[in-house]
A and B are shown apart, each in its own frame.
Chain A
Amino acid sequence: MSIAAKFEIEYLQYLDPEGKLVVKEKDLPAFAKDLDHMVELYKLMVSTRVFDTKSIALQRTGKLGTYASCLGHEAAHVGIGSAMKDEDVYAPSYREYGAQLYRGVQPREVYTYWGGDERGNDYQKEPARHDFAWSVPIATQCLHAAGSALAFKIRNEKRVAVCTVGDGGSSKADFYGAINLAGAQQLPLVAVIVNNQWAISVPRSIQTGAETLAQKAIAAGLPTIQVDGNDIIAVRKAMEDALERARKGDGASVIEAVTYRLGDHTTADDARRYRGSEEVEEARAKEPIKRLRAYLESKKVWDQAKEDAWQAECDDWMDNEVNAYLETKTQPVTAMFDYTFAELPEDLARQRAEAISLESKEH
């Protein structure tokens, strides 16, 4: 018998959970040697967590609807967002705030959407303004990114479409379809599987029989890598490599970022029903912010005073965002009609008029 195909999956890590480098300093990627830049990434990871904590507090006090926390995903998300160029397009699912804040989504917009108002998806700042909105149906965004990549290829634009999907989402036909099309057509796509070990209550172990999620890319003919998703240097480096390949015309890549969902699936979920606290505590010891802080402190570019000052700045920023959200008036009832079509059809105009007349009776 001969061998028809063989594969290996590389694993990439630079920073261990204690914040110590597992490689020699000289082998760090260029961006990681720039400690000012590393501080910037750290600050965004911290502000993402402050934002997340605030979001949950808002939900618990009845000021927000269901919210999906990103606690523990900060390195993966900021690593993705910070590697992308403005002209690229991002297709997230619904948890990747770290990436989205980097691309200009404002916390007030997140609150507006999860607070029950579609205007939260009308991102005002570039480059987020040309990114996709949150995609609740699992993994569907992967194909939207693949279609976007196809558009870039047809128009010969040096742009890359990036999608993120969870470990659960990597089971869906849409994920397989996206990487398969990208492989068949050599599309400028980067598909990142943010493997946080849990799809609501279903653990990674019964999501698939595959040893890694990264290896799913092999079947699509794509380069792939598994990275420590709590190590921002590893995530960012894998992203940079994949983005460069795509931009050069060498096609798509898959990255599996291994992390852990430290919070509940959403505020409507109670993870204590299906997983033990021991597992969570073990994961918490490996979380991304602590290790990066330890590393930056060892490099003497961060300390408690800076931490306190940045925390205070984040708190002010978030207060400002929350106030802007809470002061936003509800949309008029006509809003539900006005974006159904580019032009309001006559039939719908009648229903709109009916809704307006009911409105005026109520007031």
Chain B
Amino acid sequence: MAQITLIEAVTQALAYEMAHDDSVVVLGEDVGVNGGVFRATQGLQEKFGPLRVLDTPLDETTIAGATVGLAVQGMKPVAEAQFEGFIYPMMEHINCHAARMRNRTRGRLSVPAVFRAPWGGGIRAPEHHSEANEHLFTNVPGLRVVLPSSPARAYGLLLAAIRDPDPVIFLEPKRIYRQYKEEVPDDGEALPLDVCFVLRDGTDVTLVTWGAQVKETLEAADELAEEGISAEVIDVATLTPLDFDTIAESVSKTGRCVIVHEAPKTAGFGAEIAARLVEECLFDLLAPVQRVTGYDTHIPLFQLEMKYLPSVERIVAAAKKTLAVS
């Protein structure tokens, strides 16, 4: 069986679902002949034709609005924003229509669409190509916000996102698009949405993260292990609706929690998890919850961007800080 990267898993999921469901269509800028600027849709137009893999005019508003229309007519559109930093013009259609259509019409109309975007920093890209802004969607009722962090989860979660009857924001951590390969059987098996994945069991501290930071967080857990500290690592994967129970169960066991994310700290999604821990698990906590995040600045251009992104060092330090309290 072939070993594939995260981005190849995205392509594999799209191809699988398009082959098995005629209502699945892909649309966006450069998704057709060019196969997407990251090659996520490589080869799809050849297989499924120019209408099902549609090169749209260069207008994100058009892509998002047409996606809503397609979905209301019973298609399952998968729209691509070329970069997360270009998703803003789509937000009126995502927030005001895709997320609300079912509620507005008491279930008469719905929008089973996926809005994909390469997400996050760390690839030495120009301005507006490195945003982590998942928190702008996690506060919107009616949306699912999903961030895969491995080839297998990208495949399984994207299949689930396409099959979901409601709109899904699917943010792909582009920094780890080609970081490593793993075996991902092309069996059409979806992974559950609304579930956190425990990637590593531990007893001393819970490290909660998503997206590209799963890489640094797992490395931090390795380092902590060398010092005899047992860290549990949770990949939230679907931020909303949140499977808080998995996080609560882990923190109740370890008594300590570090939340790691790339987006700015203030009102980032880490704040929501921290608040929930205080509301629901305060007496299980042995130390204050720590957050390791991007700073409350714009992500710098690439000369400084690695100093902005959470590092293994910062995660290890935060974990030790929770352990210093007894």
Q: Which residues of A contact B (CB under 8 A)?
A: 89, 91, 118-119, 121-123, 129, 132-133, 135, 137, 140, 142-154, 161, 173-174, 177-178, 180-181, 184-185, 335-336, 339-343, 345-348
User: Is the Cβ of B51 less than 8 Å from the Cβ of A153?
Assistant: yes
User: Is the Cβ of B69 less than 8 Å from the Cβ of A148?
Assistant: yes
User: Is the Cβ of A146 less than 8 Å from the Cβ of B241?
Assistant: no
Cross-interface CB contact of A118 among B57, B66, B68, B104, cutoff 8 Å? B104
Known A140-B97, A174-B61, A178-B62; contact A340-B141, beta-carbon cutoff 8 A:
yes
Say how far B70's CB is from chain A's closest CB, in angstroms.
Answer: 4
Does B194 belong to the interface (CB within 8 Å)? yes
Q: Which residues of B contact A (CB under 8 A)?
A: 25, 51-52, 54, 56-57, 59, 61-62, 64-75, 77, 89, 92-93, 96-97, 101-110, 141-142, 165-166, 194, 241-245
Residue of A nearest to B166 (CB): A341
Say how far B27's CB is from chain A's closest CB, in angstroms.
Answer: 8
5 contacts between A and B (CB under 8 A): A143-B68, A144-B69, A147-B67, A150-B66, A181-B66
User: Is the Cβ of B65 less than 8 Å from the Cβ of A140?
Assistant: yes
Query: Other CB < 8 Å A-B pairs besides A147-B65, A345-B241, 10 of them?
Result: A122-B105, A137-B97, A150-B69, A173-B59, A174-B65, A180-B62, A181-B62, A341-B142, A347-B241, A348-B241
User: Is the Cβ of B102 less than 8 Å from the Cβ of A342?
Assistant: yes
Known A123-B108, A342-B165, A348-B241; contact A154-B66, beta-carbon cutoff 8 A:
no
User: Is the Cβ of B66 less than 8 Å from the Cβ of A132?
Assistant: no
The residues of B that contact A341 with a CB separation of less than 8 Å are 102, 142, 165-166, 241
Cross-interface CB contact of B110 among A89, A335, A342, cutoff 8 Å? A342
User: Is the Cβ of B103 less than 8 Å from the Cβ of A143?
Assistant: no
The residues of A that contact B165 with a CB separation of less than 8 Å are 341-343
User: Is the Cβ of A122 less than 8 Å from the Cβ of B108?
Assistant: yes
Say how far B31's CB is from chain A's closest CB, in angstroms.
Answer: 14
User: Is the Cβ of B62 less than 8 Å from the Cβ of A118?
Assistant: no
Max chain A C-beta neighbours (<10 A), residue from B67, B74, B97:
B97
User: Is the Cβ of B92 less than 8 Å from the Cβ of A146?
Assistant: no
Known A147-B73, A177-B65, A178-B62; contact A154-B51, beta-carbon cutoff 8 A:
yes
**Assembled-state Cα–Cα distance A306/B188 (Å):** 66
User: Is the Cβ of A347 less than 8 Å from the Cβ of B242?
Assistant: yes
**Assembled-state Cα–Cα distance A201/B186 (Å):** 58
**Assembled-state Cα–Cα distance A185/B49 (Å):** 14
The residues of A that contact B243 with a CB separation of less than 8 Å are 346
User: Is the Cβ of A345 less than 8 Å from the Cβ of B69?
Assistant: no
User: Is the Cβ of A347 less than 8 Å from the Cβ of B244?
Assistant: yes
Cross-interface CB contact of B75 among A118, A154, A174, A336, cutoff 8 Å? A154
Cross-interface CB contact of B70 among A91, A148, A185, A343, cutoff 8 Å? A148
**Assembled-state Cα–Cα distance A145/B73 (Å):** 10
The residues of B that contact A180 with a CB separation of less than 8 Å are 57, 59, 62
Say how far A241's CB is from chain B's closest CB, in angstroms.
Answer: 23
Max chain B C-beta neighbours (<10 A), residue from A142, A144, A345:
A144
**Assembled-state Cα–Cα distance A173/B57 (Å):** 13
The residues of B that contact A123 with a CB separation of less than 8 Å are 108
User: Is the Cβ of B61 less than 8 Å from the Cβ of A119?
Assistant: no
**Assembled-state Cα–Cα distance A135/B96 (Å):** 9
Cross-interface CB contact of B69 among A137, A146, A185, A336, cutoff 8 Å? A146
**Assembled-state Cα–Cα distance A143/B61 (Å):** 8
User: Is the Cβ of B104 less than 8 Å from the Cβ of A181?
Assistant: no
User: Is the Cβ of B142 less than 8 Å from the Cβ of A148?
Assistant: no
Residue of B nearest to A157 (CB): B73
The 7 closest A-B pairs by CB, nearest first: A147-B69, A143-B65, A345-B241, A147-B66, A177-B62, A151-B73, A342-B165
User: Is the Cβ of A151 less than 8 Å from the Cβ of B102?
Assistant: no
Say how far B164's CB is from chain A's closest CB, in angstroms.
Answer: 8
Known A177-B65, A342-B165; contact A140-B96, beta-carbon cutoff 8 A:
yes
User: Is the Cβ of A150 less than 8 Å from the Cβ of B70?
Assistant: yes
**Assembled-state Cα–Cα distance A154/B65 (Å):** 17
The residues of B that contact A181 with a CB separation of less than 8 Å are 56-57, 62, 66
User: Is the Cβ of B108 less than 8 Å from the Cβ of A121?
Assistant: yes
**Assembled-state Cα–Cα distance A177/B73 (Å):** 19
The residues of B that contact A343 with a CB separation of less than 8 Å are 165
**Assembled-state Cα–Cα distance A339/B73 (Å):** 18
User: Is the Cβ of A144 less than 8 Å from the Cβ of B96?
Assistant: no
Say how far A255's CB is from chain B's closest CB, in angstroms.
Answer: 19
Known A140-B96, A144-B68; contact A340-B102, beta-carbon cutoff 8 A:
yes
**Assembled-state Cα–Cα distance A142/B25 (Å):** 20
User: Is the Cβ of B68 less than 8 Å from the Cβ of A121?
Assistant: no
The residues of B that contact A149 with a CB separation of less than 8 Å are 69
Known A121-B106, A133-B105, A346-B241; contact A140-B92, beta-carbon cutoff 8 A:
yes
Say how far A98's CB is from chain B's closest CB, in angstroms.
Answer: 21
The residues of B that contact A122 with a CB separation of less than 8 Å are 105-108
The residues of B that contact A148 with a CB separation of less than 8 Å are 69-70, 72-73
Residue of A nearest to B193 (CB): A345
The residues of B that contact A118 with a CB separation of less than 8 Å are 103-106
**Assembled-state Cα–Cα distance A137/B108 (Å):** 20
**Assembled-state Cα–Cα distance A137/B244 (Å):** 34
Known A177-B65, A340-B141; contact A121-B105, beta-carbon cutoff 8 A:
yes
Cross-interface CB contact of B166 among A121, A184, A342, cutoff 8 Å? A342
**Assembled-state Cα–Cα distance A133/B107 (Å):** 12
